[in-house]
Structure 1
Amino acid sequence: MSPAGLPVLWADEQLIAVDKPAGMLSVPGRGPERADCAASRVQAVWPDALIVHRLDMGTSGVLVFGRGPEAQRRLSAAFAERRVDKRYLAIVAGVPTAHTGTVELPLICDWPNRPRQMVDFERGKPSTTHWRVLQPAADGATARLELIPFTGRSHQLRVHMQAIGHPIVGDELYAPAEVLAMSPRLLLHAECLTLPHPAGESALTLRAPCPF
């Protein structure tokens, strides 16, 4: 049995991984109208599934749950200790002049405008994103990028891309109106996740096909 609307990428006694679609919350929001989410759908099938990390509502891709508190603790520790390799795909506005690069800009919550985040060199937490151009559009209007976050700050990829002049297409928080209008969804996808299995087995690689 699979959770409604959620393709299962992996399921065993320790770990569940699903492909979360864009537009779905990872965990419940405030109010009954925001109760539907990936976590509640997964728990309807596996009641012991506990969230390990989150994806923004607009972001699609690999989302992992630990089965039971101990599996959740081990997986959460792997994320906190940066023993998880993440690969995202994004379509950004414009084409970077370099083929690869690294963004190192400290981030903090823009509290009066939350959930927006912002660059703050005095109070922000260190944040690092590596990027690589995979394919520029023929007209130069957009480019497909591989994004590798070394840190896992809220909205990190979205803010870092906007900060270097290449906001992610369809980003309702950080893209200008003309870039937002280019797509009905945020073109950001968690394509691949490699992490240590909580049972102590070898590293597990999980992939979700990119929908754009």
Structure 2
Amino acid sequence: MFDDAWLVHEDTHLLVLDKPAGLLSVPGRGADKADCLAARARSRWPDALVVHRLDQATSGLLLMARSPAMQRALGDAFANRRVAKRYEALVAGTPDALASDDGWGEIDLPLIVDWPNRPRSKVDLAVGKPSRTRWRVLGPGAAPGTTRLALEPLTGRSHQLRVHLLALGHPIVGDALYGGPPAARLMLHACELRLEHPATGQALHFVRAPEF
């Protein structure tokens, strides 16, 4: 069943939904993985189409299109980096605050799927695909020994934020796959989306704060 609390924006062209942690974005393999946000959205909006995904463990803002033409337009916007995404995460330890004027640093490490250990990805300087993440310290986390970060992925590789933060030496809290400190969930949330509405040209800005 679709939960009304997940609806952030609805118009005749697109939807913006707040996916809870633990719910798949799209169906997985097998009958036991049929339940997902896309299926629940289609129970209310039969024309809803997938544009992009979030990891099952990640919560936050997710766009869906309401026609094939809008699905293509939004897909092109993502592919051409005309959609700005921001995440918040709680990480282990205390990354050094940066001395840059805007306080943002960048992780520029190529990534590739770690095939023998799927679904993990890994840094591979020889054959990895270019992958870039901007990060900034927001303050201390709620738990001792943790820090809250703002994250902006400039590319969209599988598990990019999780692997980049591991490489930085500060894995995300609750990320059992990459050795983060244990927690009830992965402390990673897609909190902000900015884009131009493909049909109207209107500047859209959506924010949904994390629960952690």
The TM-score with structure 1 as length reference comes to 0.93
* 2:57 corresponds to: 58
* 1:142 corresponds to: 146
SS of structure 1 residue aligned to 2:2? coil
Alpha-carbon spacing, 1:187–1:5, altered in 2? closer, same or farther (3 Å): farther
**Following TM superposition, by how much is the alpha carbon of 1:185 offset from its aligned partner in structure 2, in angstroms?**
0.2
* 1:89 corresponds to: 88
* 2:122 corresponds to: 118
Distance 1:25 1:139 in 2: 27
- Mean CA deviation greater in 3-12 or 91-100: 3-12
* 2:7 corresponds to: 8
For residues 94-130 of structure 1, give each alpha carbon's deviation from its aligned partner in whole angstroms, at most 9, with x where no partner exists: 0012334210000000011111000011111100001
Alpha-carbon spacing, 1:204–1:16, altered in 2? closer, same or farther (3 Å): same
For residues 147-182 of structure 1, give each alpha carbon's deviation from its aligned partner in whole angstroms, at most 9, with x where no partner exists: 011111110000000001000000021125xx1x2x
SS of structure 1 residue aligned to 2:176? coil
* Paired residues, number: 207
Match for 1:35: what amino acid?
Answer: A
* 2:101 corresponds to: none
Distance 2:97 2:168 in 1: 12
Alpha-carbon spacing, 1:48–1:119, altered in 2? closer, same or farther (3 Å): same
* 1:199 corresponds to: 199
Contact kept? 1:95, 1:143, Cα under 8 Å: yes
Distance 2:34 2:142 in 1: 42
Alpha-carbon spacing, 1:173–1:123, altered in 2? closer, same or farther (3 Å): same
Match for 2:149: what amino acid?
Answer: L
* 1:42 corresponds to: 41
Distance 1:29 1:59 in 2: 16
Contact kept? 1:6, 1:38, Cα under 8 Å: no
Distance 1:187 1:124 in 2: 26
Q: Percent identity?
A: 56
* 1:189 corresponds to: 189
**Following TM superposition, by how much is the alpha carbon of 1:6 offset from its aligned partner in structure 2, in angstroms?**
5.3
**Following TM superposition, by how much is the alpha carbon of 1:3 offset from its aligned partner in structure 2, in angstroms?**
2.2
Distance 1:83 1:16 in 2: 17
Over the aligned positions, Cα root-mean-square deviation in angstroms equals 1.6
Match for 1:91: what amino acid?
Answer: L
Alpha-carbon spacing, 1:33–1:193, altered in 2? closer, same or farther (3 Å): same
